[in-house]
Structure formats: C-alpha cells, structure tokens
A and B are shown apart, each in its own frame.
Chain A
C-alpha cells in the first residue's frame, strides 16, 4: 500500500496528539500505589501527593458513625501470603510495626469492611501520619481466590 507523504504527516500528527494526551494525563492524574510498609518508608517524600494504599484492617479499630458518615480504622501491612517461599532471614521485624490511622468522612461504610479484611484506601497522608481517605475499597475475601496453581 502506498500512502503519500502528506498522509504520514496527518497520521503522525494524530499519533503525536495521542502521545501528548497520554503523557500529560499521566503526569497530572497518577497516584502512588503502595503497601503500608512502603508508605512507612516513603512517608517523608510523599508530601501531599495522592496515594492508594493496600493494607489490612487491624482488628478492634473500626469505628463507624452513621449520622456523620465518619469511618475510622487502622491499617496494617498485609502479611506475606507465601509460607512456601524460601525463608527470608531478614524478615524478623515485627509485622505490625507500621500502621496508619485511616479517616474517611462522607462515604457510606463499604459492605465488606471488616476486621482483618484487605482494603485499598485512596487519599492523602497528612503530616501527622493520618491517611485522609476519599475512598475505601474492599477486595473480595480470599476465599474466592481459587487455590494458587503452580
């Protein structure tokens, strides 16, 4: 197929426009997707950037006030799910050493939020180390994950 040069120009212009849209949108809308441990390690550099944190709800910390739609709980790292993996000698540190209070206002409590449930929290980290969440999402209970086939 022969395409005259000016069609390459038109095509290239469209391709460039798409590339520009992608690049500019990524730089303005992206957010860090971190584990609770990573939030702990990067606390200083995160500033007011929007973050998404995957963690587990610490038992006994959920407080839900339906009248004001205020949800509070503490998020801790999700423990390593792979006991079959070779033993890592360095992972002696206490599992619950890192934790962050989560504060979410104005959203209904997610159906599946419960103690020891894995959640994804979207929001910002305050200087005081509280995650002000705009959204709390629950992952489905692990029961539904078919066994890991290897």
Chain B
C-alpha cells in the first residue's frame, strides 16, 4: 500500500501540471478537445489523491508501523475512530488531507463549468491546479506521508491525547473545508483578472462556493472554540492564540466579501475591492497554514512546529505578488459607472461594515505577527496577549453590531429623514430601553450596557424586517401568520436566511459578552467530604475512583452539587487521565450547562496519597448562548444555501447575457 500511495501522488503531480498546459493551450488556441482533456486530467488527479488517502488510512487502520507517519501518530490501542482522524493529526497527513479536499473541489468546479463560463473556467481550473501543484510538490518532495522506517517499531507513539476528542475529530476537517473551498472563488477571481472578463460572472458562478466556505469556516471556528472549552480545561473557549487567529482572519474577510459582493451584484460597484478581498481571503488561508505549520510564532499548538515555513512563505509571496500585479494591470478596467451618493444609504453601511471587518482582521493580523516584527526591528520578541485583542476588537465589534442593525433597513442610494424615522424608531426604542433596564438592574459596565443595547437594537431591526415582509404577504395573498412567515423565508431565502444568521451572530455576541465579563472562578484543595461554594452552588467532594485500561489510567472525582436550600442538583465527575503512550496526563472537564450559566469543574490535581484533590471551578454566565448562536448561524446558512428555483433561472439568464455581451467587452479600451 505505501508504494501505491507514493506512486499515486507522483502521478497526481504530473496530471496537475498537464491540466494547466492543456487548459491554457486549449482556450488560447481554441482547441476545445484540450480543455476537455484537462478536465479529465483533473478528475484523474482527484482519483490519484483519493488512492493516496485510502492508502494512508489503510496503513493507519492496520497499524502498519513500517510507515513513519503511522508509527508517529497512531498505536494499536488507539480507538478506531481516532485512527481515522489521525489522517489529519500530523503534518504530512493533514497536508495530504488538504490536497484531497482541493482535488475534490477542483473536480466539482470542473464538472459545474463543463459548459458554463467557457472563457474564464479554463483559467480558473488552471489556477486551482497551480495551487494543487504546490501541495503535491510538498507531498512528493518535502513532507512525504509514505516515508518508511528502517526499523519497524512494535508499537506506535500514539496520537496526542489532546487530539483524542470528538471535537478534534471534526474541527480540522471543517476548518480545512472552509480554507480550501475559498480557493475556488479566488481562482475564478484570478481568472477574471487574467482574461479581462471583469463583469460579475465570476462572483455569481462562485457565490455558493463562497457561502459554503464561510459556512465551514464558521463551523471550524465554533468547533475549535468548543474543543478548547471542553478539553483545555481553563474555563475559556478563545485565547487569541496565533492558531485561532489564523482561523478567524479568513472568516472575517470572507464575511466582508459576502457582504460587499451584494453591492457589486446590485450596483456594479466595488469591483476592485471584491477582487482584493477574495485574494486576501485566499492569502490568509495560506498564511493560516503557514502559521500553524511553521511554528514561527510560539503557540500552545507547538506540536505543529516544523520546517515547512519557508516553502509556504515563498508560495504566499509568489501568489500575492502575481495577484497584485494582475489587479494593477486591470485596474483601469475596474472602474465602476455607479457612485456612492450618501452616508445614509445601504451601500455606505455595507462599505463601512467592510472597513470594520477588514479592520478587525488587520488588528488580529498585526497582533499575531507582532512578536516576529518586534524581533526583526528591535531585536527582542514582544508579545501581545488577549488584553490587546480585546481592547482593540471590543470597540470595533460594537461598531460592527451597530452597522448590522443599520444595513438591512436603510434604503439603497439615499435615505430620507422620514424613512429613517419609520424604520428605526421601534428598534431604537427597544435598544435604549434594554440599556435602561440593564442599568436599573445594577449594571454599571459601560461596555456591557452599550453592547446589550446595540444587540437589542439589531434584534429590533430584524423583527421589523420580518413583520414588514409578513404584512406585505398577508396583504397580497391573505395568508395566516405562520404560513406567511414560512413562505416569506422560502421565497426570499437569501435575504431571510441572512437575517437568521444575523440573529445567530447577536445571540453568540451576547454569550461572549456574558461569559467574558461575568465569569467567576474558585480554586480549592479539599479532602473527601469537604465542600466549598461558588455563586449559589455548594460543591462537595465525595471521593475518587481509579480505573485502568491498556490505553490509559484515569482518576475520576465525584462532586455533589447542591443548591443553597441543600437540594442536590447533580453529581459531576471531572477526571484526570494518564495516557500511557506517551506518558502524559490530560484533564477531562465536567460541565453542567444551563442557559443562565455553565458550571465547569476541573480536577486540577490529586496528591500522591489520593486523599486531597485540587479543583478549579468556573461559573460562566450565558456561554450557552455562544453555542446556540453558532447553531442559528448554521441554520441560517442552510436556508441561504437552499436551492432556489427562481434564483437559478436568474443566474442562468445573467450568464447567458454575459455571453452575449462578451465581444463588446473584448473591444473595450484597455482590453488585451
């Protein structure tokens, strides 16, 4: 099997190179046979990478320790599910997995465009193949997944215990899916620049890809946060670690992109901006991989340190320079006939929303690379931690939330005072009264009060929007309220799905505010029978029980949770695990989640006699709503992506119109 995998990767590289040559030759020399042949080459490349993935999976499942990768990231005692996920537990495997996703997405894009976009698709597929070549080059020559060991060990060194967790089983695939699928819109953007077909065909053809990518970036970030919350045992879910930032930045830029393309689709504006954003999003996915795989910025994720940095950096620089050059080369063709007219317009709200999102991304980027910069400039590494990110992003998040409320309600082009009053009176009242109620309840933190008021304001605008739409429907077709709501969402799924996402963002935002500002914690060492309190709960340590399996030893504490009136709420069982290979302890947190607050109990240590246990307990208000908001964002995105017959027809019409316009565009001044 290893030989087969190795061979398959070599063939895949050759096929990727061939597909570029055939695609470009075919489209330049008007030889459609070559374009077809290039498509087949890409499908075959996908088949080859699939064979390599299956070969590595086979090695992992069979515990074939002659493979260096299997010996390093698996063992005979590893549960089968984690043998599967070991594919992305280490460096070579995760690059292989990445390449596999890329080849699958490339194949799908090739299939979708077998008759569509005849002018730009071959270039876009060539760009995708170019990215594939980089990863296949790495897999063939730099970090090979099928390297063999000279002496075969009897047992593997096992997957890192921190990664033996179901969130870690799904977090990397989600994130990688989000990263890699951003390559498709990027490739079409680059193709539009190469060919000079700069209308919005590239955006329309890849709109679903962009949403798909955003969807998985959202999931990936949420899963990562959830993993940190459940596994790392420090009570939080986000530490502004470089690796987390690396996943967050593409999400921010993709969010900006999804909003600003609406302006281009509607008003034919912001062309350069959109092309820049998608380039930035793709660059950030590479940068993210560079950070996680190079260890250039020390991070708690240090198990990914390796020497891949220079390769990724080189590739990143080449891509950035080439793309920037293309943008400059085409800049004269990218001017838009339309114009911004007023600050009080939806265009302006979207533009400023974009500035905020990119601003946050920039601040995160700056904070992430600051240690490297300061070392280069001043000779000493200076780091900025969570306080930096919170101080910068806190106010920016408020601005963003405010614009979330303004954007959907304000009119295109310009708004009259009358319109403003009609649309925003109710939401403003809702927002202000929320602030007043919060103050009356004793809240004094200005940031929290502002944040809650703004959140209520946004919710108010969304309710106004839904009511407006429902009333219109009930007027026209006299439907019952519930049916009107369903039809409203079904018939305008992009718009109302978007609002559902906004509701999810606001709910998650409230969860973040509550959990960041009102978390309390208690650390205590106790003997069995002793108790201590946190918030209104009393926790009594009942005792320890120890279990041993071939894979690990565990010590589980039983902790009784009591209400003030002495009633038992539940018994929680935080545990300490001692993995045998390698000998490494890990923590299993016990969490009791309620919409009001999470009780989070960590068995931080036991002394050698087994008589004293040290607990760290957190009471985190509202963190429940972060995950609930995440689920709503997922639901909203599913609504947005739901196939819509009317929209399909519109895209088909737009694309055929593009085809009719094409000769005229070629003749335009500045064309090639």
* Interface-lining segment among A84-92, A124-132, A142-150: A142-150
Contact B616 A108 (CB under 8 A): yes
Contact among A4, A30, A42, A109 with B383 in the assembled complex (CB-CB below 8 Å) = A30
**Chain B positions 242 through 282: 1 when the CB is less than 8 Å from some CB of chain A, otherwise 0:** 00000000000000000000000000011111000000000
Contact A29 B388 (CB under 8 A): yes
Interface of chain B residues 395 through 413 with chain A (CB within 8 A): 395-396, 399
Q: State A150–B311 Cα separation when bound (angstroms).
A: 10
Contact among B91, B298, B585 with A111 in the assembled complex (CB-CB below 8 Å) = B585
Contact A22 B90 (CB under 8 A): no
Residues of B within 8 A of A14 (CB): 352, 355-356, 359, 399
Contact B302 A111 (CB under 8 A): no
* Interface-lining segment among B5-13, B181-189, B332-340, B631-639: B332-340
Contact A15 B359 (CB under 8 A): yes
Q: State A70–B586 Cα separation when bound (angstroms).
A: 20
Contact A21 B604 (CB under 8 A): no
Residues of B within 8 A of A24 (CB): 391
Question: Which residue of chain A lies nearest to B305 when distances are taken between CB atoms in the complex?
Answer: A145
Give B151 Cβ to nearest chain A Cβ, in Å.
15
Residues of B within 8 A of A4 (CB): 339-340
Contact A54 B307 (CB under 8 A): no
Q: State A10–B344 Cα separation when bound (angstroms).
A: 12
Q: A7-B351, A112-B584, A146-B90 are in contact. Are A66 and B523 (CB under 8 A)?
A: no
Q: A32-B382, A66-B612, A143-B157 are in contact. Are A18 and B363 (CB under 8 A)?
A: yes
Q: Is B670 an interface residue (CB 8 A)?
A: no
Contact A32 B381 (CB under 8 A): yes
Give A113 Cβ to nearest chain B Cβ, in Å.
10
Q: Is A137 an interface residue (CB 8 A)?
A: yes
Give B552 Cβ to nearest chain A Cβ, in Å.
13
Q: Is B306 an interface residue (CB 8 A)?
A: yes
Contact among A15, A21, A67, A108 with B392 in the assembled complex (CB-CB below 8 Å) = A21
Contact among A33, A69, A143, A146 with B582 in the assembled complex (CB-CB below 8 Å) = A143
Contact among B233, B307, B356, B363 with A149 in the assembled complex (CB-CB below 8 Å) = B307
Contact B303 A144 (CB under 8 A): yes
Contact B396 A108 (CB under 8 A): no
Contact among A18, A54, A112, A145 with B359 in the assembled complex (CB-CB below 8 Å) = A18
Q: A26-B384, A148-B306 are in contact. Are A1 and B271 (CB under 8 A)?
A: yes
Question: Which residue of chain A lies nearest to B374 when distances are taken between CB atoms in the complex?
Answer: A30
Contact A2 B335 (CB under 8 A): yes
Residues of A within 8 A of B370 (CB): 26, 30
Q: Is A140 an interface residue (CB 8 A)?
A: yes
Question: Which residue of chain A lies nearest to B355 when distances are taken between CB atoms in the complex?
Answer: A14
Residues of A within 8 A of B338 (CB): 1
Contact A25 B160 (CB under 8 A): no
Contact A120 B607 (CB under 8 A): no
Q: A14-B356, A18-B362, A32-B381 are in contact. Are A25 and B392 (CB under 8 A)?
A: yes
Contact A149 B143 (CB under 8 A): yes
Contact B585 A11 (CB under 8 A): no
Contact A108 B380 (CB under 8 A): no
Q: Is A34 an interface residue (CB 8 A)?
A: yes
Contact B355 A141 (CB under 8 A): no
Most buried by A among B91, B273, B384, B587: B384
Q: State A3–B342 Cα separation when bound (angstroms).
A: 10
Residues of B within 8 A of A22 (CB): 363, 366-367, 392
Contact among A1, A42, A144 with B160 in the assembled complex (CB-CB below 8 Å) = A144
Q: State A28–B142 Cα separation when bound (angstroms).
A: 42
Contact A34 B388 (CB under 8 A): no
B contact face: mostly helix, strand, loop, or mixed: mixed
Contact among A1, A148, A149 with B270 in the assembled complex (CB-CB below 8 Å) = A1
Q: State A113–B9 Cα separation when bound (angstroms).
A: 41
**Chain A positions 38 through 70: 1 when the CB is less than 8 Å from some CB of chain B, otherwise 0:** 100010000000001010000000001011110
Q: Is B329 an interface residue (CB 8 A)?
A: no
Size band of the interface chain A makes with B = 35 or more
Give B265 Cβ to nearest chain A Cβ, in Å.
14
Contact among B273, B382, B391 with A33 in the assembled complex (CB-CB below 8 Å) = B382
Q: State A25–B72 Cα separation when bound (angstroms).
A: 42
Contact A29 B385 (CB under 8 A): yes
Give A110 Cβ to nearest chain B Cβ, in Å.
9
Residues of B within 8 A of A111 (CB): 233, 576, 584-587
Question: Which residue of chain A lies nearest to B297 when distances are taken between CB atoms in the complex?
Answer: A33
Q: Is A31 an interface residue (CB 8 A)?
A: yes
Q: A1-B273, A1-B334 are in contact. Are A109 and B355 (CB under 8 A)?
A: no
Q: State A120–B142 Cα separation when bound (angstroms).
A: 31
Contact B523 A108 (CB under 8 A): yes
Q: A137-B300, A148-B307 are in contact. Are A29 and B391 (CB under 8 A)?
A: yes
Question: Which residue of chain A lies nearest to B359 when distances are taken between CB atoms in the complex?
Answer: A18
Give B326 Cβ to nearest chain A Cβ, in Å.
17
Question: Which residue of chain B lies nearest to A150 when distances are taken between CB atoms in the complex?
Answer: B307
Contact A30 B388 (CB under 8 A): yes
Q: State A112–B300 Cα separation when bound (angstroms).
A: 12
Q: State A25–B269 Cα separation when bound (angstroms).
A: 35
Residues of A within 8 A of B339 (CB): 2-4
Residues of B within 8 A of A149 (CB): 142-143, 306-308
Q: Is B343 an interface residue (CB 8 A)?
A: yes
Give B447 Cβ to nearest chain A Cβ, in Å.
14
Q: Is B387 an interface residue (CB 8 A)?
A: yes
Q: Is B206 an interface residue (CB 8 A)?
A: no
Give B340 Cβ to nearest chain A Cβ, in Å.
5
Most buried by B among A10, A21, A32, A42: A21
Contact B614 A66 (CB under 8 A): yes
Residues of A within 8 A of B381 (CB): 32-34
Contact among B91, B305, B395, B582 with A21 in the assembled complex (CB-CB below 8 Å) = B395
Residues of A within 8 A of B336 (CB): 1-2
Q: Is B236 an interface residue (CB 8 A)?
A: no
Give B292 Cβ to nearest chain A Cβ, in Å.
13
Q: Is B525 an interface residue (CB 8 A)?
A: yes
Q: State A11–B616 Cα separation when bound (angstroms).
A: 46
Contact A141 B582 (CB under 8 A): yes
Residues of B within 8 A of A107 (CB): 523
Q: State A67–B616 Cα separation when bound (angstroms).
A: 13
Known: A22-B363, A150-B307. 11 other contacts (CB 8 A): A1-B269, A10-B348, A14-B359, A18-B359, A30-B384, A33-B371, A108-B602, A108-B616, A141-B582, A146-B306, A149-B143
Residues of B within 8 A of A (CB): 72, 90-92, 142-143, 157, 160, 162, 233, 269-273, 298, 300, 302-308, 334-336, 338-340, 343, 348, 351-352, 355-356, 359, 362-363, 366-367, 370-371, 380-385, 387-388, 391-392, 395-396, 399, 523, 525, 576, 582, 584-587, 602, 604-605, 607, 612, 614, 616
Listed by A's residue number, 8 A-B pairs whose Cβ atoms lie within 8 Å are A1-B272, A21-B363, A26-B370, A26-B384, A67-B525, A67-B612, A68-B525, A139-B298
